[in-house]
Amino acid sequence: MEVVAPDPVAPALKHWRTTLERVEKFVSPLYFTDCNLRGRLFRDRCPVAALSSFLTSERLPYQRAVQQDFSPAQVGDHFGPTWWTCWFQVELTIPEAWVGQEVHLLWESDGESLVWRDGEPVQGLTKEGEKTSYILTHRLGEGDPRSLTLYVEVACNGLLGAGKGSMIAAPDPEKTFQVSRAELAVFHREVYGLLVDLELLLGIAKGLGEGNQRSFQALHTANQMVNVCDPTQPGTFPVARVLASRFFGQRGGESQHTIHAIGHCHIDTAWLWPFKETVRKCARSWATAVQLMDQNPSFIFACSQAQQLHWVKTHYPGLYARLQACACRGQFVPVGGTWVEMDGNLPSGESMVRQFLQGQHFFLQEFGKMCSEFWLPDTFGYSAQLPQIMRGCGIQRFLTQKLSWNLVNTFPHHTFFWEGIDGSRVLAHFPPGDSYGMQCSVDELLKTVTNNRDKGRANHSAFLFGFGDGGGGPTQTMLDRLKRLCNTDGLPRVQLSSPGQLFSELEKEAGQLCTWVGELFLELHNGTYTTHAQIKKGNRECERILHDAELLSSLALARSNQFLYPAEELQDLWRLLLLNQFHDVVPGSCIQQVVEDAMSYYEDIRSRGNKLLSAAATALCAGEPGPEGLLIVNTLPWTRTEVLTLPKPGGAHTLALLTVPSMGYAPAPAPTSQQPLLPQQPVFVVQETDGSVTLDNGIIRVKLDPTGRVTSLVLVASSREAIAEGAVGNQFVLFDDVPLYWDAWDVMDYHLETRKPVLGQPGTLAIGAEGGLRGSAWFLLQLSPNSRLNQEVVLDIGCPYVRFHTEVHWQESHKFLKVEFPARVRSPQATYEIQFGHLQRPTHYNTSWDWARFEVWAHRWMDLSEHGFGLALLNDGKYGASIHGNVLTLSLLRAPKAPDATADMGRHEFTYALMPHKGSFQDAGVIQAAYNLNFPLLALPAPGPALATAWSAFSLSTPAVVLETVKQAEASPLSRTLVLRLYEAQGSHVNCWLQTSLPVQEAVLCDLLENRDPAGHLPLRDNRLKLTFSPFQVQSLLLVLQSPPN
């Protein structure tokens, strides 16, 4: 029988607020639940038949957990502590009277829960994620079993960790958790449908406001529904539903903005919880998502991070198979293309390439296709080299929302083209609702339209819905809201969509879009360039070790028939490094447990990587037995002459000046052999009567005052002074460092107002190395009553820079240590190294955009130059930096207390270096010098008679091009094909000849994923290849090798 809406009652004047509140109380979970509609959502209830539990400190797999001894438990029981797991065995008996009804298990507990049924994970349960019921049956049939046993695995941590007192505080190790509800109930779906409708009508009334006609229509419809709906009489429900359908059935116009609603569940790979808990977060969240996909065929769920999928494949194979089935139906959509959602600033260019290489290959292998969009919604800024890297990895679309967090300036676009330093462009979209965790309220839909800063240029927007950060994901209620609002007058059009559909629509509108050139700098969280210095150092060191191990293994492969390239082990080590580059790990914004795991991963890379280096060196020396010698290896693509410390018999060490060809090796001098006459001026070291020390190698002359500060730095050939008049360099400064909230993340502009120079004690400066090959002076400095520093200032023969080897014992609270070098240079722009290139940033605070960059990031060097002269500051593991006016500042150590109360406490070692130069930094070799500082010559034990001659594998005809990477091609682990990656580093158009001594059979250009360019064949002439570069261009090539003679 057709249900018709009643005739309206006699007209009455309506008061906005009382009408609104009347409807609110009718659906309230707090007020009048004895007589309102909400109170009828669950009707009959009964307790579970039996409840028992088992507590463990381990994260046990299901098969082991269910075999443990369970003890009787009851609602109200407490368990814990933090990070433990409580397994509950839940025995259920459904009453006979409930046949024909929908039956739910209602479960409320602290912590995060996962329901297991028949040995498989079926749904997550969290109060924080609005998931407190599990559907046992949509309709209990006559023949259905009445009794069943479920297991509920409860992790003793919340959706966002276990912070003591606040979310980002260090975890409280002694938290206890409680089960507050465990019962069966009959679910009234008609009541639920009415509740969804009434909440949406309330949202429309409030969202459109009293000045809007449609708002009053929504409120009057809701009021009329309350009039006709008697919660005690289900027969009145269809009449109320007809009223709602009539309202929602009124359509919008053709010009309505279209919202693409995409299910999502952002899961931080580690943050306020350890890596191992993330594995379970994925299972809880994705089991729920699979259940929703099964029940809602139009629901599409986007999922990033290959690492997380790899974990689920390993630990939850049944769930993983269901995800793959959903992917075949087009409902589960892998996005991002990377191994993890990495930090966008600190990883090297090669690391960023490997994120895509590992991620895209995983997605192709496991899901049959690669990702077409880069998905990085929560990372703290985005390097200007990312557009080129994305395009090289088959991606031309980019999604984030993090720049909505800018503290100072509002970013001017939501849909635009983003252009990198090489000119590569990608289509970028920021969801205008400024979130990746929408809950599908009317307010969020309206904000998405009104907040869009590209009105008139783009009429489509992403709307990412689902609980995120700690997982959880979408709910059925969110989906039901979106379906109801698919096309309703007064609101944007809403469609359940995919990232591919969204970007296809945006591409149709692309002709109107603006372009943003350069980095996407986040004006917040710039403390993350410095926090947890040991993690930063581990990252830089392990990037170097893997670079060196791949190069040497490649050369061994080319030189030896017996050598097997360790492809599998290198992949394992790369994946560990990529995991640590997650955007809350390498930035240091994570809890102590995560830091400990990260440091152990770095140690694993160091020890296993060094074994790979030794094995490759052995193969290069053909492994002939005999007395052990040393092989001196240069892993960089230019010849180097440097001072090296070599072991002597009996454990002593000696200095030697060695020349090693590019990407090759040279024999070490015999311990007894005489050093040849020095081709350059030796280093002179002089200490004056006032305690000051001068170091001079004929290239630069540096003068230190009696406390170790640099009073003069002269380029000898031109007598040009680099230190500003009346100022001193190597000045350590301490700042108060108390942010507004995000402790490990933020350093605020006002910290600059608290600058306190650290003054040393005269008389502490002493001579170390006395000259010749190396001269040095060292000193001690008390930074505070609790922290101290010692430093050796080192100058080597022939070296264009002076090094500062630094050791700090750091015990501070909310202090920031930096070192300053005021330069005798004037320029409105300074240059900072980034991935595969460099960029300029202003040295002034003219605009709010300039001032917001008071603390920036750089990789191995920064430079301040005027015409004809400049000063570069190099480092071996720091990232925070600033050049304001004429002062170059390197950020060294912070001391935040949340989320890790022990962050940065203890001993630190690092080196920075100062390089004055004539002309431009490009012509002076600053780029090469910074590489040399970061990639020391290797002295590797070589079995058998030491090789008598030097050998070079690769060299380049121009310093403008850097050969960054040499590795085996991924495609076939047993093949003799190498991949070379080169980039133009100076910002110039240039032709480059690549010379090789390897037996090359064929050379062809390829993309960053190592796919051949069909038109990329390179002719080989006299073992030379000609390559043409534009500024900052990255090129990769495949070299197919001939087999070496036996």
Rounded distance between C-alpha atoms, residue 277 and residue 279, angstroms: 5
Sign of the torsion angle spanned by Cα atoms 921, 923, 924, 930:
positive
Asked if 101 contacts 75 with a C-beta cutoff of 8 angstroms, the reply is: no
The β-bridge relationship of strands 112-117 and 147-155 is antiparallel
Rounded distance between C-alpha atoms, residue 397 and residue 426, angstroms: 6
Within 10 angstroms of residue 679's Cβ, the number of other Cβ atoms is 10
Q: Identify which of 1035, 829, 1027, 850 has the alpha carbon closest to the alpha carbon of residue 920.
A: 829
Rounded distance between C-alpha atoms, residue 156 and residue 730, angstroms: 48
Asked if 911 contacts 878 with a C-beta cutoff of 8 angstroms, the reply is: no
Asked if 649 contacts 671 with a C-beta cutoff of 8 angstroms, the reply is: yes
Rounded distance between C-alpha atoms, residue 574 and residue 560, angstroms: 24
Rounded distance between C-alpha atoms, residue 620 and residue 614, angstroms: 10
Only one residue has tokens 């360099």, namely 729
Name, in order, each residue with C-beta under 8 angstroms of 841's C-beta and a sequence gap of 6 or more: 829, 830, 832, 853, 856, 883
Rounded distance between C-alpha atoms, residue 922 and residue 870, angstroms: 11
In the chain the first and final C-alpha atoms are separated, in Å, by 90
The backbone torsions φ and ψ at residue 625, rounded to the nearest 5 degrees and listed phi first, read -70, 155
Catalytic entry in 110, 343, 378, 900: 378
Rounded distance between C-alpha atoms, residue 464 and residue 145, angstroms: 39
H-state helical runs in 44-170: 62-65
Q: Identify which of 666, 662, 668 has the alpha carbon closest to the alpha carbon of residue 952.
A: 662
Q: Which amino acid is at 161?
A: G
The β-bridge relationship of strands 425-429 and 397-399 is parallel
Q: Is the peptide bond before 81 cis (omega within 30 degrees of 0)?
A: yes
Asked if 828 contacts 843 with a C-beta cutoff of 8 angstroms, the reply is: yes
Identify how many contiguous H helices and E strands the chain contains and give both numbers: 19, 55
Length of the chain: 1046
* Ordered strands of the 990-996 beta sheet: 954-956, 990-996, 1024-1029
Angle between helical axes of 275-295 and 317-328 (0-180°, round to 10): 50
Q: What is the number of alpha carbons within 13 Å of residue 895 lying toward its C-beta?
A: 20
* Cross-strand bridge partners of residue 775: 770, 795
User: With 0-12 CB in 10 A as exposed, 13-18 as middle and 19+ as buried, what is 816?
Assistant: buried
The β-bridge relationship of strands 301-304 and 258-264 is parallel
Q: Is 79 left (phi over 0), alpha (psi -120 to 50) or beta?
A: beta
Instruction: Decide if 443 is catalytic.
Output: no
Rounded distance between C-alpha atoms, residue 429 and residue 504, angstroms: 12
Asked if 910 contacts 541 with a C-beta cutoff of 8 angstroms, the reply is: no
- State the Rg of the chain over Cα: 33
Only one residue has tokens 């409580």, namely 86
Q: Which amino acid is at 737?
A: D
Asked if 897 contacts 792 with a C-beta cutoff of 8 angstroms, the reply is: no
Asked if 451 contacts 249 with a C-beta cutoff of 8 angstroms, the reply is: no
Q: Which amino acid is at 644?
A: L
Q: Identify which of 116, 118, 114, 90 has the alpha carbon closest to the alpha carbon of residue 182.
A: 90
DSSP state of 3: -
Catalogue the active-site residues: 378
